[in-house]
Structure 1
Amino acid sequence: MTETQRVQKDYWSTETYEAAASFVPHFADTLVQSIDFKSTDRVLDIGCGDGKFTASFAPMVEYVMGVDYSPSMINTAKTLDYGGAETEFRVVDCRHLEKEPEIMNGNWDKVSSNAAFHWILKDSSTRLSTLENIFKSMKPGGTFFFEMCGHGNAPEKLTSFMFALVSHGVPIEKAEALCPWYYPSDVHMKEMLESVGFQVKQIELNPQPLQLTSTDNGGLEGFLRLIGAQMLDLLETEEKKDSAIEQMCRMLRYGTTREDGSQWITYASLRCVAIKP
């Protein structure tokens, strides 16, 4: 697979996401409960995925636009019930909101995101411009709230991916270059937000254990296949991908599996609320 094909490929599907990561839409439940929503609010949800996070606040507002890079997830989002709120979902590269005039109209009361910015902000060439675009898209006094993976998130996962890929013949430089995640510290994220004009009202980094699913196609194997699909495409055959996954699961099973058979990883939650003055 060429680099262009890898970038353009949609690695997400509702079925695999539900099996391996059904807990993700609930990451920001506590954060949502802290936000003062108004019935007249217009909300932009960045990296909305399958819409289940969007559904947690949509009934409280007038209008939500959800944007995501995955056509598969957007198609699912369009099928959900949002409690009477007007909703619209679009396939958008969230690194380049400047290409979307209806987003960059300065008309958003709130901008939200859950479990997406550690993917979206990986590209260092668009990291600050993405935050700048969000700032420009909002009304003065608007609220930007999000939760993402932060510094210290699942180090065991990243180490196992690097080891398995290198042991299957991938140069470590290539594996490092294609690592799709960006896990900033709270200090660095606060600095970036303030540099584009936001006033940060709340930011916290909270490492905590996270229990993986126990459904078919879930658990540790399903989770690794889901979140590491892009890295696994560095391997040419399905046989090599299966071999790498088996190797990772064997490496991780003692550190992730508890006495009752449940599987856990380290989740470092980076949670933030910022205001556009």
Structure 2
Amino acid sequence: MSQTKKDDWSTEAYQNAASFVPKLATKIVQWLDPQPDDVILDIGCGDGVLNIQFNEILSRGSGHVHGIDASPAMIEAARKAAEKAGAEKCSFEVLDALALATAPALQSGTYTKLFSNAALHWILKGDSFSPSSSPSSSLSSSFFRSARAALVPGGLFAFEMGGLGNVAEMRAAIMMAVARRVGIERAREAEPWFFPDEEWVRGVMQREGWEVLRAEREWRPTRADEGGVEGWVRLFGAKSFEVVPEEGGERESCIREAVEVLEVVCREPGGGFNLGYVRLRVLARRV
């Protein structure tokens, strides 16, 4: 019997803690430069906000955007939002990005452009930062090989993800709180993110037949959303806390410990909280 994968995402929690994510995608969208006749695959599309924006351009031509995401809740929200907006150039599918190679329709080399915003640091969790230690069978190599197969020759892939140094204070507070209860090794294994640098991404992509045209990291301090530090920690840190037992309120105590530290560290003098975001932005061409 197949097991249903747990969906850790809630559209309501996302809007409360991370509505800034698509709003801050202006630069990577400029790098993508969608045109009316483009056929775009959005990897990790979330609630489809950016896809609906692309629809305004694609509706002037023969183009289309297809969004995939592993979260059924996010895909359902995206479909409803697109229907409400009359975004006929958008389609959506529940699909884990690591399963691209098993989706024949997405391996046909028909997309002119690939796009991904704030998703690959979840998808590539577990890989090494060292290009020399990433064999062709590694998770990252497999992903970029499958992504390449979705594109027409010369097609472009524009993506933005967390870069080396991203939300370091959030990671430290969460990991310390979890490690105090289950040990540093289990805390490290439970962390759900991978934040590489430009050197790493150039190495792995070039091995898989990509020409990296541009790669940059940007320090981008970001004001916390309406949910504050606590909303961010509960949404994005959920995987880390799963290794802490719930019995006796231990998990809740762990979450509160991390939140209380971060509400001191991240507090702005005028009120609100500032999060230390670092973004890795890449534009690559299928050779």
Aligned mates of 1:223, 1:84 — CA distance in 2: 30
Aligned mates of 2:18, 2:201 — CA distance in 1: 25
SS at match of 2:194: coil
1:108 is the counterpart of 2:121: no
1:198 is the counterpart of 2:199: no
SS at match of 1:122: coil
Give the deviation of 1:85 after TM superposition: 4.1
Contact 2:160 2:280 in 1 (8 A): yes
Q: Percent identity?
A: 36
Contact 1:32 1:57 in 2 (8 A): no
Amino acid at match of 2:285: I
Give a deviation string over 1:70-108, Cα, whole Å, max 9, x none: 000010010123664422211111112011011111000
SS at match of 1:200: strand
Aligned mates of 1:269, 1:158 — CA distance in 2: 15
Give the deviation of 1:55 after TM superposition: 2.1
Give the deviation of 1:38 after TM superposition: 2.3
Name the residue aligned to 1:184. 196
1:132 is the counterpart of 2:129: no
Name the residue aligned to 1:91. 94
Give the deviation of 1:234 after TM superposition: 1.2
Contact 1:212 1:265 in 2 (8 A): yes
Give the deviation of 1:35 after TM superposition: 3.2
How large is the Cα RMSD of the aligned pairs?
A: 1.8
Q: How does 1:234-249 map to 2 (within 5 A)?
A: 234-237=243-246, 239-249=249-259
1:269 is the counterpart of 2:279: yes
Contact 1:48 1:114 in 2 (8 A): yes
Aligned mates of 1:58, 1:220 — CA distance in 2: 33
Aligned mates of 1:151, 1:175 — CA distance in 2: 19
Amino acid at match of 2:174: F
SS at match of 2:177: helix
Name the residue aligned to 1:21. 18
Give the deviation of 1:37 after TM superposition: 2.3
Name the residue aligned to 1:80. 81
Q: How does 1:27-176 map to 2 (within 5 A)?
A: 27-61=24-58, 62-81=63-82, 84-124=87-127, 125-167=138-180, 169-176=181-188
Contact 1:27 1:147 in 2 (8 A): no
Amino acid at match of 1:22: S
Name the residue aligned to 1:226. 235
Amino acid at match of 1:222: G
Amino acid at match of 1:91: V
1:207 is the counterpart of 2:219: yes
Contact 1:59 1:83 in 2 (8 A): no
TM-score, normalising length: structure 1: 0.92
Aligned mates of 1:266, 1:174 — CA distance in 2: 25
SS at match of 1:102: helix
Aligned mates of 1:159, 1:106 — CA distance in 2: 41
Aligned mates of 1:84, 1:242 — CA distance in 2: 41
Structure 2 unpaired stretches of 5+: 128-137
Amino acid at match of 1:90: E
Aligned mates of 2:106, 2:81 — CA distance in 1: 22
Contact 1:116 1:148 in 2 (8 A): yes
SS at match of 2:232: helix
Give the deviation of 1:257 after TM superposition: 0.2
Name the residue aligned to 2:135. none
Aligned mates of 1:193, 1:112 — CA distance in 2: 15
Aligned length: 269
- Compare the two structures and name the one with the higher helix fraction: 2
Aligned mates of 2:140, 2:28 — CA distance in 1: 23
Contact 2:179 2:186 in 1 (8 A): no
Give the deviation of 1:240 after TM superposition: 2.1
Give a deviation string over 1:126-147, Cα, whole Å, max 9, x none: 2110011001110012110011
Aligned mates of 1:26, 1:194 — CA distance in 2: 30
SS at match of 1:10: coil
Moved more, 78-87 or 224-233: 78-87
